[in-house]
């Protein structure tokens, strides 16, 4: 897809997530992804992080009332054709986001990226916050996009293979989202299989694994790309197909920055 500067953005996406000062994940990755795919990105920032390819070095909290205000003023003026949530690391913030979506979000399709586990494996959410996520946010989602560690927490089971992914996906679908995209990148092997589960059944999305340390922000990027597709009127399956293609090329052409898990090349659709 070639998106040139003179084209008018199509599809308004409100992104509710944390900021990554390193530019590889979070709000920065979200804005780049939506823009590169031809959409318009607005934001509500839930936390500020001092972050680079080696990890998170500090977090500055955003007051929940200010998170709510960001959502409210964007939706009342600019509006949104899709909403995407990412880092909602505190119960107070999650409560504020859910409340704002209930009041101002209407029927806008929601993509929930349940950012729950740090790269080192530590859980980012306590039990009470997980409960709010399961009971109040996930049922609102048009698409839920957990990776394997997140799905294991939400489905309360171990996932070791593709069959386990399907079982866990059905458990998560029972929580009420319209669809669940089970991301299989954490499983070993030379291929990556993602499963899209909905009331219509299971769609299997498979691709060769790109062996690279430059994969920081892949989850944020994929979820935002899906949200952009929904905002532009694509069906869920088509939005997932396009988003996966976009992310794979972004990994393949990653700029190689940093000493650790480097960022993707979000701008590959507009370069050249």
What are the residue boundaries of the structural domains of the chain, listed by start?
Answer: 12-263
Q: Is 192 helix (H, G, I), strand (E, B) or coil?
A: strand
Task: Express the helix, strand and coil content of the chain in percent, nearest 5 each.
Answer: 40, 25, 35
Look up residue 37 and give its two tokens.
């795919």
What local confidence, expressed as pLDDT, does residue 8 receive?
Answer: 80
User: What residues act catalytically?
Assistant: 183, 215, 217-220
Residues 198-221: tens digit of each pLDDT: 999 999 999 999 999 999 999 999
User: Which residue shows structure tokens 């880092």?
Assistant: 87
What local confidence, expressed as pLDDT, does residue 272 receive?
Answer: 54
What local confidence, expressed as pLDDT, does residue 119 receive?
Answer: 58
The class level of CATH for 12-263 reads alpha beta
What local confidence, expressed as pLDDT, does residue 80 receive?
Answer: 98
CA dist 237 and 223 (Å) reads 13
Which residues of the chain fall below pLDDT 50?
A: 1-5
At CA 186, angle to CA 85 and CA 202, rounded to 5? Answer: 70
């Amino acid at each position: 897809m070639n998106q040139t500067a003179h084209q008018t953005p199509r599809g308004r996406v409100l992104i509710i997530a944390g900021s990554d000062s390193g530019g590889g994940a979070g709000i920065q990755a979200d804005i780049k992804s939506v823009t590169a795919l031809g959409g318009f990105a607005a934001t509500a920032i839930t936390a500020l992080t001092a972050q680079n390819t080696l990890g998170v070095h500090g977090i500055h909290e955003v007051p929940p009332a200010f998170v709510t205000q960001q959502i409210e003023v964007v939706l009342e003026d600019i509006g949104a054709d899709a909403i995407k949530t990412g880092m909602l690391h505190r119960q107070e913030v999650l409560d504020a986001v859910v409340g704002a979506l209930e009041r101002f979000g209407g029927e806008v399709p929601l993509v929930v990226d349940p950012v729950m586990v740090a790269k080192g494996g530590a859980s980012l959410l306590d039990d009470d916050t997980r409960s709010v996520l399961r009971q109040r946010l996930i049922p609102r989602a048009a698409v839920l996009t957990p990776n394997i560690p997140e799905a294991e927490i939400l489905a309360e089971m171990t996932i070791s293979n593709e069959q386990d992914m399907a079982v866990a996906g059905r458990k998560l679908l029972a929580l009420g989202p319209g669809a669940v995209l089970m991301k299989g990148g954490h499983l070993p092997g030379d291929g990556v299989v993602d499963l899209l589960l909905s009331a219509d059944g299971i769609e299997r999305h498979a691709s060769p694994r790109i062996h690279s340390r430059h994969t920081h922000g892949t989850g944020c990027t994929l979820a935002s790309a899906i949200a952009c597709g929904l905002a532009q009127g694509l069906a869920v399956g088509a939005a997932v197909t396009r988003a996966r293609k976009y992310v794979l090329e972004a990994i393949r052409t990653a700029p190689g920055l940093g000493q650790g898990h480097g960022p993707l090349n979000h701008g590959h659709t507009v370069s050249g």
